[in-house]
Each structure stands twice: as C-alpha cells, then as structure tokens.
Structure 1
C-alpha cells in the first residue's frame, strides 16, 4: 500500500497536483491537508473513478498528524504564491514558518517518508526542512528533494521550437538552484546547440531563469505559475513512486551534497567549488531508485562551456546566501 500526502492541497498548486496524484496508478491512499477549504477539494476529487482512497484533513483534531501517518511520500506546495514585483526571497518570512511547522510534522509522524519541497523559495526552504529533520534525528539525504523540475520543463519547452524538436523528447539538465540567476540550464549539451546564436542562448537562459515572472505578469497579478508547477511536481513524484516500485530514473532536483555515502557527492562538491564556493545543497541531475536519491550525476558539470561557467559562478555566490538564510532560520 502506497500512501501520498499533499500539504497545501487546497492551494493553486495543490489542487491540480492532487488531481494528478489521484490519477496515478501506483497510489493506493491519497491524503490531503490544508488550513482551509480542503474538505471541498477532497470531496470533489473523491468522485473520480480511480482506485486510490482519499481523505482530507484540516488542522483541528490533530489533522496534520492524521494526514501524515504512514505516508510513503509527502509533497509540500504549501505557502503563499508570488505576486507582481515579488521575488522568491520576498516570500521567505511567510513561507519559512509554514515549512518549519510542516517539517516538524513530518519528522514526528512520517520520519521515513520521501519529501518533495515545492514551497518557495526552495533554495532556503529545503535547508529549513533539513535542519528540522536533523534536529529530530531523522534526516536522510536520499529522501529530501527540492523540486526544481519546472526549470527543466521550461528549458525543454523553450528550446524545442528553436531546434525544431519535440519538447517531450528533450531532457535539458538544469543545475544550481531554483530562483533567478541561481538557475543554470545546460543547453550546450543538446544536439543542435551550435545552431543557436549567442543572442538566442542568452534569451533562452533569461527566459528560463525568469519564467515565473512571465506567468505572474500574464495573469495580471491574479496568480503565479500553478498549473505548470503542479505538472513539474507531479513529474518528480511519478519518478519517486516508480522508484518505490523498483524502477530507476534520472531527474534534476535540489539535494544535499555533504554526505559521502551518496555516490558522486564528493565529486560534485569539488566541481561546485571551482565555481566559487562550498555549498550544502545544489540542483543537479540525480539517479533515483527504491532508496530515493541513489547517485549524483556530476558529469554534467564537467561538460559545461565557458558561458555556462560564468553563469555558475554567479549562481553559486547567490546560492550560498540563500542556503545560509534557511539554515539560520532554524539555528537562530
């Protein structure tokens, strides 16, 4: 029996994400948690004729504990969305507290669950989650991942038209973090990259880095990237669920680097160090399987070109600040 819990299930990302997970054939139980409106979302989804059972919980009567109990996978899109003019860092003071409280819940009631953190700013919220789990003695770097899949999805989509390729057939590696200039798509590894002009590459990189702003502006302040983010979160969740079922795959994710029991962690730290700093976390393709993160695919960093090296130097500098901010929030 595989149980998935979604914390923040009634929000703009949570609702479409919950729908997608309800459709997944490997999910036996779906548990929804939010501070408001989640019973209605659950009632709506419960009418869908897939085989997974569904329960919804509000905070009252130990709702979070009940939602998390016996969960195999916890997905966290909880938090406030970005509004016009807001950066991901602007969200920190609100979302940091939300993530901290959910992390305590996971540590207490689902300590062996895989956790996918969507809540922004991911560069800071994942370190918050790690610190809380570590305080409770249940941190496993294989089981905690920040969701950066949206940067890969955007990279595939945006470059496909220029290369005359199908987006669904592309798999652009994206490294660094998940905000602005910390996002570094490695287009140079794609067949056909030489066809792109410097101006086209610069425009592609900028569009991937600030794709979220494009959506916020298009929605005239009425929302942010919710549907595409839900899809991206589901893509990574699908790979985790298949991993629990014995399949192996590769995906970019924001993961912990300072555990040498992870294959490739030491090599990744050394390569990241060449770009200007020592980092605890980094977004990079990882090998996924039954244990979660089974390897860090550092080879992509050995193949970057000069333009990407410069982007990485900027990304690493900013990431250090973002990660420290999340860590300090818990350590005081």
Structure 2
C-alpha cells in the first residue's frame, strides 16, 4: 500500500479528479528512532549550511534535500560525511512527493534572499508563491509534519502557509512555526557584548514579528538581569531590529544573512526534534498563530512538547521604551499579516 501511494504521488490526477489521499504520517519518531527531516530550498545560501548542520545532528536519520536545481551536488557532498543521517536529493516539482513523504519535520528556507535596496515587501512578490506551492505539497504528502518556515517575509508567509493548510483540511496551528530564532541569537550576542558576558549565558526574549520594528527584544527581561541606560537600550534594540540590513550592507550585494540564519534554524530544528522525542522543558521563541495579543500571529516564547505547542509562556512585563515599540509594531505587523492572508485567499 505504501509503495502504491508513493507511485501514485508521481502522477498527476486527470483533470477534474482529486489526487489520491496519502496515509497520514506520524508526527514523531517513536521508540528511540531518529527523524526524517526535509529541507525545501536545500541548494540555496541558507539551505546548504543548514543541511550541513542537520547532517551532523545525531537525531536525524533521513535528510531529504529538495530544490529546483543543483540539489544532487549538495546531497553528494554531504553524503560523504560520516554521520548516520542518510542523505537523498530531490530536484524539481515531480520529485517533491518523494522529498516530503513520511517527513516528521519540514524546514523551508526556499526563496530569494534580500539584496541591497530590497524591502521585505519586494521579497513578498516572489517568495509568497514559492511558499504557497511548497505548503500545498506538505499538505498532500506529509500533512502531520511539523513545519519550520524561514522564507521571508515571515510575518506574511506564515499566514499564507496556515491558509493553505486550512484549505486542505490539514491545519494544525501547533505544528506551524515561523523561525525567529535568529532574532534571539542576535539579541543574545549583542547584549552579551554590551554587558561583558558570554553569549551562551544570556537569554533575551524576543516577541512580535520578524522584520524591523516588529522585532521587539525585551531587554528589561534579560537573564541574567542587567541594567542598561535608556539610550544604550534603545541603540541595542535598533541594532537587533536592523541586524539583517547590517549583514546585507556588509556583503555589498553578495548575499544576506545565510550562515547565522542556518545556525539559528538548525537550533530551532533541534528544539523541535527534542520536543517530539518527549524531552521536557523545551522552550524557544517562534512566530505562530497566537491569542496572547489582539494580533492573530505573534512571536513569543513557547514550551514545545510531543504534540507541538504545549504552552504559550506569559509575555514579559515591558518597560516604557518597550511599550512604545510595541504600539509602533502592532500596525506594521497587522498589515503584514493581512497581506499574507489576502494573497492566500485570492
């Protein structure tokens, strides 16, 4: 039956007929087994280093690499690394079913990167369609997989993905995440530099969204507790919010934040696999469907468990500077969410 379903996935249904339904896959590997992870956009600037980091993970037993071109070379290169994860290459739309079927976790860095002078709205016009197509594949071939979405603008692409899954009848809000871990990684690094601490000892909750002013690092809730004068806190907040542009400018048109994003995405993927394995106390920030505020999607600290989002941790108390940023964030984030919803519904 499994073989028949896999073969059927390769052939389009006659016009007017639905594609065959595939048997729902388990949401997690059981009994100590490892995880089947699919990376969609694996040959790109983020996808390659991300795939390398996932190949090194002892939790990954199958690593499915998908892209529209150049996937075979990336897979061959990674397959020479002496870790247990088996690597396979899948290129083009007709091979998307094989990349996805049976996946426990799907990580999506596919899309074009931001270049100098390009806004996240510019990215939307290209990446929205890519995300929609790939999520249609997820809904069909691995409907119970956890999905970690990296493709920018995340503030809009996560609502697009949710609407695709809703239309397919496969939406599980607790399994869909916009990866904002890079904002946390950057905040931890910059605060540690300012306070003379080791970055691994610092944790900054970052709430809101994943672009500009919608990124709100709650510096007043940093652990360990530090005291920053308002001017220094404002400068740190603005640097964290503009860090992506800092990298784009430094690369002078040659790319965007790929290596740091890959590390952050690998960290989030590891957190997902730890949670699916039943490890207690897994907490990460991510941009998800949320009722913590009056915005339908919001990034905040989450406790993850085997079924997905287990608990929305309370939002930290904001000081005056952070409250001001929160109010400025709301209108922009709401507009980005509506833009994604409008695209998906049309």
TM over 0.5: yes
- Distance in 1, matches of 2:329 and 2:312, equals 19
Deviation at 1:12, TM superposition (A): 0.2
TM-score (norm 1): 0.92
Aligned to 1:287, the other structure's residue is in SS state strand
Aligned to 2:238, the other structure's residue is in SS state helix
- Distance in 2, matches of 1:293 and 1:171, equals 20
Please, which runs of 5 or more residues in structure 1 have no aligned partner? 258-264, 273-277
- Distance in 1, matches of 2:287 and 2:225, equals 27
Look up the match of 2:29.
none
Deviation at 1:39, TM superposition (A): 0.4
Say whether 1:298 aligns with 2:314: yes
Structure 1 stretch 161-170 or stretch 42-51: which is displaced more?
161-170
- Distance in 1, matches of 2:305 and 2:265, equals 17
Please, which runs of 5 or more residues in structure 2 have no aligned partner? 1-32
Alignment counterpart, residue 115 of structure 1, candidates 130, 136, 147: 147
- Distance in 2, matches of 1:117 and 1:89, equals 17
Report the number of matched residues. 311
Deviation at 1:237, TM superposition (A): 0.4
TM-score (norm 2): 0.88
Say whether 1:187 aligns with 2:229: no
Give 1:37-48 correspondences, 5 Å limit: 37-48=70-81
- Distance in 2, matches of 1:298 and 1:179, equals 22
Alignment counterpart, residue 96 of structure 2, candidates 64, 89, 103: 64
Q: CA RMSD in A?
A: 1.0
Look up the match of 1:227.
259
Contact 2:104 2:145 in 1 (8 A): yes
- Distance in 2, matches of 1:201 and 1:193, equals 11
Look up the match of 1:10.
43
**Structure possessing the higher radius of gyration over alpha carbons:** 2
Post-superposition Cα deviations, 1:55-97, rounded to whole Å, max 9, x if no partner, equal 000115x200110000000000000000001122220010000
Alignment counterpart, residue 239 of structure 1, candidates 271, 280, 285: 271
Look up the match of 1:106.
138
- Distance in 2, matches of 1:52 and 1:42, equals 11
Say whether 1:322 aligns with 2:344: no
